[in-house]
Structure 1
């Protein structure tokens, strides 16, 4: 009779110990019991795709949104408009083939002279319009002024004086002059003029509205220059500082004539089709 009672007491003791251990485990701070259960209250009709999804095909988010009833807003690519200068060259001057090499006394040289005289009628009308807004404009003095603008702009480009360069070139010409020159060293020098600069072309068209005039004057400049371009390690990429070259250029100078505070600035260059190809930079 004593043995069954003892076994019963041992079983009760074991059951009590196991219940106490389970209670301690439930009160353990390292493994807290969640006090709330997540409840889904609202259904999401459109779920965006995961970021950096690998080895899985991404669906078209626009098509999924359209199927869910959500309409994407149409995106417009807007281009900024600058009224301080025009976006191009109006009626560009076509240089005669063999310019600066043919004599005016030869047969072909005389043909070029007669064609230039025929084309000068439109230029004279444009010069009259320019003089109505700029009383100090003269063809002879303007050619020398354009040459000074050209020399000063290229000196600022070699010294990376961006603030002054903006006042000498238009917003269209600035990126064309500075593109790709960030890590390069430019050594440029103007030596002399082989021929005096002269005005060969002029246009004064309306833009956007009548009376909004932009004056564009093309100046022919034949000079001797030196140019050397070095990379960021000091290695020569193009040209030479000691060997000068004869350069024939057609500069386009522009001004917003309606603006009383406007000034003549370098707008671009005209490269004839018969000109030799540019020398590629050494890399």
Structure 2
């Protein structure tokens, strides 16, 4: 009985499926596509233009961002400025070749004499402006004052007294004096003055705005000095403490005249083109030695320092 009922239901199911297939084929029933819901992502206000597009006029990205309501911060290239001193030397003094040893009758001597007269006329006008702001300024006493500033600044340099050195030299001169002096020992002394210092040049320029005046005075200093520089191992690199040398220098002393608390400070030096070359600096180098073990000593090995092999260089 059960088997007959089962056979009857299977036949009915197969007939129903065949009839449904024929109906779908005749009516062309289409099944609906699956429903896709887009997920919300980050909203992009500004999309950069595509890379590599040629021949198309690219829009201004700032205009597109402004239209989208995005504010782009402007980048300003700001550079710090220091008004306590100038950044250089205005109309520098040209020292005569040989320091006035040439005859004024020669061609070069006449050129030097003419240049000195032209510079002295401008220096007189600058000295008048300096005296308007500094009533104590005098060309007779200022040269001695400049020499004292020069001596005190170099003494502070040998003692590495940064606070005192900043009060004696300008912000332009400070890095030039301290550059390369790390891990070194400096021995400097002022022996005597061979010639009395004198003012040879003066200028009174303005910077940033009109009326912001600075006084620059060039002082000729001929003296005898000693200088010795030692490296961090105590080896002599330059000069000697016992042998003094004659030094001819042209110092530039500057002051911010508008500042009532301004002081005369060392601003730089003028090195003439005809000045002799400086002595070379003897540098310390490391010679590679043997690899010592903890229980070994260098003296007991009798190690010989290898000499560099001769190399033939071709052009």
- TM-score w.r.t. the length of structure 2 is 0.65
* Residue in structure 2 matched with residue 78 of structure 1 by the alignment: 78
Higher relative contact order, structure no. (Cα contacts within 8 Å, ≥ 6 residues apart): 1
1:160 and 2:170 are equivalent in the alignment = no
* Residue in structure 1 matched with residue 237 of structure 2 by the alignment: 237
* Residue in structure 2 matched with residue 57 of structure 1 by the alignment: none
* Residue in structure 2 matched with residue 134 of structure 1 by the alignment: 134
C-alpha distance in structure 2 between counterparts of 1:225 and 1:244, whole Å: 5
Cα contact 1:104–1:113 (8 A) shared by 2: no
C-alpha distance in structure 1 between counterparts of 2:150 and 2:226, whole Å: 14
Aligned residues: 224
Cα deviations by residue, 1:213-252 (Å, 9 ceiling, x for unpaired): 0000000001000000001110111000011111010000
Cα deviations by residue, 1:171-197 (Å, 9 ceiling, x for unpaired): 110011001111100000000011110
Cα deviations by residue, 1:247-274 (Å, 9 ceiling, x for unpaired): 0100000000000000100000011111
Larger radius of gyration: 2
Cα deviations by residue, 1:128-178 (Å, 9 ceiling, x for unpaired): 000000011110100000000000000000000000000000011001100
C-alpha distance in structure 1 between counterparts of 2:239 and 2:137, whole Å: 36
Sort the Cα spacing of 1:262 and 1:42 in 2 relative to 1 into closer, same or farther, 3 A: same
* Residue in structure 1 matched with residue 214 of structure 2 by the alignment: 214
Q: How does 1:115-264 map to 2 (within 5 A)?
A: 115-264=115-264
C-alpha distance in structure 1 between counterparts of 2:160 and 2:72, whole Å: 45
- TM-score w.r.t. the length of structure 1 is 0.72
Sort the Cα spacing of 1:73 and 1:139 in 2 relative to 1 into closer, same or farther, 3 A: same
Deviation at 1:278, TM superposition (A): 2.2
Deviation at 1:43, TM superposition (A): 5.7
The answer for unaligned runs of 5 or more in structure 2 is 1-38, 45-60, 284-315
* Residue in structure 2 matched with residue 9 of structure 1 by the alignment: none
